Amino acid sequence: MTGDLLIRSVRPWPSGLGTAEVDVLCLAGRVASAGPDLEAPRGVAEVDGKGGVLLPSFTDAHAHLDSTRLGLPFRPHTAGVGLAELIDNDRRNWRSAEQDVAARATYTLGRTIAAGATFVRSHAQVDVDSGLERLEGVLAAKEAHAGRASVQVVAFPQCGILRDKGTAELLEAALLAGADLVGGLDPAGYDRDPVKHLDIVFGLADKHQRGVDVHLHDAGSLGAFQVELICERVAALDMRGDVTISHCFALSTVEEDRRRQLVDMLAENDVAVTTVAPGVREPLPLRQLRWEGVRLGLGQDGMRDYWSPYGTADMLDRTWQLAYRNGFRDDSLVEMCVDIATRGGASVLGETGHGVTEGAQADLVVVPGDSVTAAVMDRAPRTLVVHQGVLVAADGELLP
Amino acid sequence: MTGDLLIRSVRPWPSGLGTAEVDVLCLAGRVASAGPDLEAPRGVAEVDGKGGVLLPSFTDAHAHLDSTRLGLPFRPHTAGVGLAELIDNDRRNWRSAEQDVAARATYTLGRTIAAGATFVRSHAQVDVDSGLERLEGVLAAKEAHAGRASVQVVAFPQCGILRDKGTAELLEAALLAGADLVGGLDPAGYDRDPVKHLDIVFGLADKHQRGVDVHLHDAGSLGAFQVELICERVAALDMRGDVTISHCFALSTVEEDRRRQLVDMLAENDVAVTTVAPGVREPLPLRQLRWEGVRLGLGQDGMRDYWSPYGTADMLDRTWQLAYRNGFRDDSLVEMCVDIATRGGASVLGETGHGVTEGAQADLVVVPGDSVTAAVMDRAPRTLVVHQGVLVAADGELLP
């Protein structure tokens, strides 16, 4: 039956099973049982985990599949400094890519899955120049990999809503065309009117009963003010659990007292946060956010695109990056990064039951390594990737 | 003849040859000529660069080969917080490693070379507990790879000189046993008497005519003060060109005016600086240091040892880390990181002529990639590694 699979010789994490190798049986897409030398029910396929660590699959909670150039000839970086210049550089160049958005997004999503992520939230730029073209490309990639990963798509007003007249209507059209969430972008710093911007975003979300995911690079007190504006709308519209703030640099650029207020506010309104582990910006207060119960995910951001040459579509690479950038050496802290990159991100996407536990949806990844920390340091190709009990990739390669 | 080699189909960088593929001929260990379809002189072996980028070989300007556990079973991190605890944790555990220092250092140095570094400066801990045991292990690794890389060894007083009575005598014994340079460690912050500590270090260097490489984690004005103390001794003993400050966090933790003073002082006294691109500490002012002519190198630091789980023995990984941590997106800045990791580090080691130019010592590495930046982002296994015109590694594997 679809979703039946016996995974031999793996060491599940996190688990109360100790560090010995066991077999894990998936039935009808769910984790059914685990133990030494399980007998395969008749007709159930077996795969060899080769003694690797079995983790919940990764979640890329913040991707930009519509801009990726992974797999294409490398292109020198041509953008100047600052957000506006990065936006304009992308606008000047994306149409001349060697492949269309659908082909590029499909390739990169495939690599993302082959590297062990089976939950993905991708933004897709919606603006008056490109209309829904980029969104449609990402939706095509989602469709192409429908049996391999659960993908959410955010209609993302990368050029602003108020600055780019006509975008509000396009965002609504995007929701009708298949986008799952409404996005936003620096309502104050970039779009110049935080209240009007957020009222449009939350108005659309409320009208169509969708979630919200806002890019908030604005830092310091201006960023903090917008965290408040977002939380006020979440409370007023009863959207607890449906809203994410991406980047949220405000959290690492205000004083500790103010930060504590913000974290409390996020927790109270069940607003999630995602980070991409940037190299220069101060890291988010990961432990504080988790301690207070804020759902927290990790994402790839853009991948070798018109914005940046970085990004490999490998969430284990990005997990290493999160650990390194935070200076974590203790195994428990490196493991916390893995938890953020797997179950944490899934909870941002609303998949609250993700994990290696009986009854959980069987979205799993097997990684070679003496321990979880060793696996993060080595970043070896994934032995197996499983989505809903179906083997979707092996030895780093996507299966047909 | 030894050191004769014809490398087919590579794109040299940096070079005035453009981006077309050429062949590069090495004769008697030096770069002799480059051009399309070179004819191989009789008896000269040919190797295929497969169209990759040809770089000057990497320089690991700051390694700790005596503590590495790469290749051994992964060991959870057991150290508490702070430098003293890290030192003590290493002391408590290093003797129980599954292999002796020589075997571990030899393995990791081999991996370092296979990843394209043919110039290496490694510290070797000298203290009253281990005596010269760790130094001898690193010297054995140097000897084992004598035909594959040029290795310098620093007699490094990891436990202090004044705190660890008897270390001064051991440092001198280390120099007589084959160490190339005298090391030092936080003369104020750790060893508690900067003048006495530095007088011992520079006294030994002067007496034995060796270079100096001091670990200086001390930050802010205390670190800056010690930069001055070091430069004063360099000037007094006429040791320009022979002294390195490793880490030198002072440079990124003082005000801009003070920083400018320090950079000028380093330049004036030709004192080199190395960084390991740490994840949490503020990056060094790379462009300012280079602009002012300070020799600047990159190193691996410890590699999966009792100090930290990080480190892969791959200087291209570390180059990526330097670029990422500095937020560099422009190709020219990523290429600057490659220059720091190749020629910059070599200049720290006194190899001032390193590069892909006619007459230079033929220490070269071929990396797959559309461009230098792409090679840094992909970090694919090295196609070829050449030391003094001799092929020492291919396709990521060391040759016998």
Say which residue, A202 or B15, is predicted with more confidence.
Answer: A202
List of residues 6+ apart from A209 with CB closer than 8 A: none
Does pLDDT of A16 surpass 90? no
pLDDT tens digit string along A97-135? Answer: 999 999 999 999 999 999 999 999 999 999 999 999 999
Give SS3 for B369: coil
What distance lies between CA B261 and its chain's CA centroid?
26
Tell me phi and psi for residue B267, to 5 degrees: -65, -45
pLDDT tens digit string along B311-358? Answer: 999 999 999 999 999 999 999 999 999 999 999 999 999 998 999 999
Chain B nearest C-alpha distance from A165 (Å): 30
Question: Half-sphere exposure of residue A212, counting CA atoms within 13 Å on the CB side?
Answer: 30
State the average pLDDT over residues A170-199: 98
Positions in chain B short of pLDDT 50: none
- How far apart CA A135 and CA A150 sit, in angstroms, is 16
What distance lies between CA A227 and its chain's CA centroid?
20
> Among B74, B330, B331, whose Cβ lies nearest the Cβ of A370?
B74
User: A377–B331: do the CB atoms touch at under 8 Å?
Assistant: no
Does pLDDT of A81 surpass 90? no
DSSP output for A151-178: EEEEEE-TT-SSSSTTHHHHHHHHHHHT
pLDDT at A18: 67
- How far apart CA B229 and CA B223 sit, in angstroms, is 10
Relative to beta strand A211-215, strand A181-185 is: parallel
Question: Which ipTM was obtained for this model?
Answer: 0.96
User: A374–B309: do the CB atoms touch at under 8 Å?
Assistant: yes
> Least CA distance to A335: which residue of chain B?
B76
Write down the mean pLDDT value for chain A.
96
List of residues 6+ apart from B54 with CB closer than 8 A: B7, B10, B11, B12, B13, B24, B356, B364, B365, B366
pLDDT at A166: 97
- Domain annotation for chain B: domains and CATH numbers: 5-57+355-398 (2.30.40.10), 58-348 (3.20.20.140)
User: A324–B279: do the CB atoms touch at under 8 Å?
Assistant: yes
pLDDT tens digit string along B86-122? Answer: 999 999 999 999 999 999 999 999 999 999 999 999 9
Residues of chain A neighbouring B74 (CB-CB closer than 8 A): 369-371, 373-374, 377
User: A310–B377: do the CB atoms touch at under 8 Å?
Assistant: yes
pLDDT at B19: 73
pLDDT tens digit string along A214-226? Answer: 999 999 999 999 9
Chain B nearest C-alpha distance from A3 (Å): 34
Chain B nearest C-alpha distance from A72 (Å): 10
- Asked if residue A212 lies in contact with residue A202, where contact means CB atoms within 8 angstroms, the answer is yes
* Cα separation values, B316 from A8, B60, B94, B111, B281, Å: 36, 10, 28, 12, 20
Residues of chain A neighbouring B370 (CB-CB closer than 8 A): 73-74
Nearest to A384 by CA among A1, A2, A5: A5
Give the burial class of A131: count Cβ atoms within 10 A of its Cβ; 0-12 exposed, 13-18 middle, 19 or more buried: middle
* Cα separation values, A161 from A180, A181, B397, Å: 18, 15, 53
Does pLDDT of A20 surpass 90? no
Tell me phi and psi for residue B107, to 5 degrees: -60, -50
> Among B304, B310, B329, whose Cβ lies nearest the Cβ of A324?
B310
Does pLDDT of A14 surpass 70? yes
> Among B74, B370, B374, whose Cβ lies nearest the Cβ of A374?
B74
Residues of chain A neighbouring B331 (CB-CB closer than 8 A): 76-77, 309
DSSP summary character for residue A250:
G
pLDDT at B17: 64
What distance lies between CA A105 and its chain's CA centroid?
15
pLDDT at A318: 98
User: A279–B325: do the CB atoms touch at under 8 Å?
Assistant: yes
User: A74–B373: do the CB atoms touch at under 8 Å?
Assistant: yes
pLDDT at B20: 86
Prior bond to B14 cis, omega within 30?
Answer: yes
Buried b / exposed e over B238-255, threshold 16 CB at 10 Å, is ebeebbbbbbbbbbbbbe
The tokens for A331 are 């195994």
Give SS3 for A228: helix
> Among A74, A309, A330, whose Cβ lies nearest the Cβ of B329?
A309
- Asked if residue A26 lies in contact with residue A362, where contact means CB atoms within 8 angstroms, the answer is yes
- How far apart CA B68 and CA B364 sit, in angstroms, is 25
CA angle B269, B283, B218 (to 5 degrees): 65
State the average pLDDT over residues A173-182: 98
The tokens for A292 are 């207070």
> Among B74, B278, B373, whose Cβ lies nearest the Cβ of A371?
B74
